[in-house]
Amino acid sequence: MLPAEKRRLVMHYKALGKKTVMVGDGFNDAPALSEADIGISLRSGTDVAAEASDITLMRNDLGAVVGAIKISKAIRKIINQNLAWAFIYNIALVPLAAGVFYPWWGLLLAPHFAGAAMALSSVSVVMNSLRLKSMKV
């Protein structure tokens, strides 16, 4: 299949509203790799293919594509968890630290406790992210 045909095929599926993934290793795959939603190149491939892709597999094994997808989903899940935690934490504790609730309920957070709470929030985000290191692919 010619490079332009590969690219047209990817564009066709994108026009249908489909998510596209292209796996390639050569110069002739570069246009389709860059056009796809996700381009995956193999380590043994050309520099042009690696540059055009979003992911470069370090093993020349197409089975690693499944692992890359699994890792990507896990990363997205952790990112969403961290964003949700930060959002909820900041919505609740920043107004408390600023004294917004003091006139109504007499709640006030001392600055050193607010700083410690912020540090604990950062540590919890980092610890949640470190769970990715123990992930088996």
pLDDT of residue 21: 93
Strands in 21-24's sheet, in edge-to-edge order, are 21-24, 38-42, 55-57
Examine the domain organization and report whether 85 and 119 are in the same domain.
Answer: yes
For the chain (137 residues), the mean pLDDT of every run of 10, in chain order, is 93 97 91 94 86 89 88 95 92 83 83 86 94 85
Examine the domain organization and report whether 75 and 16 are in the same domain.
Answer: no
pLDDT of residue 37: 95
Examine the domain organization and report whether 52 and 101 are in the same domain.
Answer: no
Examine the domain organization and report whether 39 and 87 are in the same domain.
Answer: no
pLDDT of residue 78: 96
